[in-house]
Structure 1
Amino acid sequence: MGSKVPFVKFSNGIEFPALGLGTWKSKPGEVTQAVKYALDAGYRHIDCAHVYQNEKEVGEGIATKIKEGVVKREDIYITSKLWNTFHRKDLVVPALKQTLSDLELEYLDLYLIHWPMGYKEGGDLFPKDENDKILYSTTDYIDTWKELEKCVKDGLIKSIGLSNFNSQQIEKILSIAEIKPVVIQVECHPYLNQRKLQEFCNSKGIILTAYSPLGSPDRPWAKPEDPQLLDDPNLKNVAEKYSKTPAQVLIKYQVQRGNIVIPKSVTKSRIESNINIFDFELSEEDIKYIDSFDCNGRVLHLDWVKDHKDYPFSNEF
């Protein structure tokens, strides 16, 4: 089955699918099948990260579908992210090569610095002291970026970008970048619509990728009293108007704003439903109405590392 997903164009001229499958929190035992479902359904963009600890299984799903002739390597777009414990210059290439090996790929289409914050190198993904406090690295993400640029020149990555950086940190990268970031991946949904950050990035030729576009209802730290975006009665009213599900409206909302969107699911019916959004258009009034739900409702705030020198969320945007 071919793909009906539109493409966005990066500042480097490369086109990239506006909708992808997210794999954060997808269990290794389920994610291989989820990737197969997605590629069969017409997804051509898979979003991964080393820290999700499921890249080997994602790679198995991709390899199977290439072998079956469902997709060719050049027709799919794979994103991964450099984890915080590999920011030091000498660790960047080995970390990237580990991801390539796990995914059974020779190159990545897009590689992001996962967070601006470096963690202590050489051990656990979440290195901690005896008081359960995360241990930090003294690295500067500027040096990390320079290494990513070399990886582009060496043909290991087609495009590079950032994740969870604020506007000031993006500016810092832009001030030294020989190869500019094409993407900033951040939490984005109507309760945290990132309008200011999006406008800033648009002015710099950077495309925003929305993660947790459905409000991340399965996040491990959710409390029973937390508002659930998918249950929002105002959103449900919009969905009813278009005879679509709330999830489909949330995904379409991002695509119509010019963002890339990466909803996560391992369920076949939901994976198929999430891509079935190209037979309707939200009106401008409804997009503005959905925008009005914004309440700075961030669900991934990482309060436990807010004393890090590069913690991104103390800035306004």
Structure 2
Amino acid sequence: MGKQVALQLCPLSEYLEAQLAERGPVVRWFELDEAAQRAWLATQADSANVVVTGGHLGCTNDLIDALPSLGLIAINGVGFDKVDVPYAQGRGVAVSTTPGVLTDDVADLAVGLTIGLLRGLAAADRFVRDGRWLEEGFPLKRKVTGRRFGIVGLGHIGRATADRLAAFGPIAYHGRMPKDAPYRFEPDLHVLARDSDVLLLACAATEETRGLIDASVLEALGPEGYLVNVARGSVVDEDALVAALDRGTIAGAALDVVADEPVVPVGLIASERTVLAPHIASGTVETRKAMADLVLANVDALLAGAPLPSALK
């Protein structure tokens, strides 16, 4: 990076941090208090040409405005809802993500959460550890094979999830338009929810999908239906979800994401109908390495004046 600086907005993998440091100075922005951040901007703002961040955090318009030499916001993830992409692009700032490399892991986790939720695996683990198996039998749970699966969002992750779940039962999906896929397209989300035993969320987080899964969709899913979310927490109206779980409007929910991560609503934690994971869908050694390499490839391309391999259009 020469005299140019990378602004790192959140903790990253040891590998990615080391590789960034090899390319030039890195400012660990998240370790500075507000006063230190203001002081740095007052004297060195024009030295930063790259911001490296996570999809859960993004980059604010105010920070974009404060960095006159900024050329790239490199997101270590596929979600870009926390970056105002048109605004950034309008300021001449490219935004890159890490698509493709995490598809398998997210789809795998979606299947794992589905099986874990219907078969009660988390509860079964606690049941054994608490010594209850010595005194009683574990309650019967629900069969996975033969369930009807509804996928909301048949992009790369949704399609990979559907392909895996097709071994268990019939698949239908909802989105803005039909895809070239061997599954039934359902244009009405409420009909999809009504006709599904398990509703899986794999759509992008946008203003259009904010609160998409509301009380009416959960009502349509029904008391024997399950919700699985590996998309973004903002896609679900969490107050409506907590109420639906409390009232038995739906049978249960497995969530890898919540709206205000890492703060999980008390009602979701307290419910015996939930399986919760700390946003680990891409959390494997192999995939995090591949994600880091794609972040670095975008940074290297910017420095070389070459086309960015995974910049948003």
TM-score w.r.t. length of structure 1: 0.30
The higher relative CO (CA closer than 8 Å, separation ≥ 6) is in 1
Instruction: State which structure, 1 or 2, has the greater radius of gyration over its C-alpha atoms.
Output: 2
TM-score w.r.t. length of structure 2: 0.30
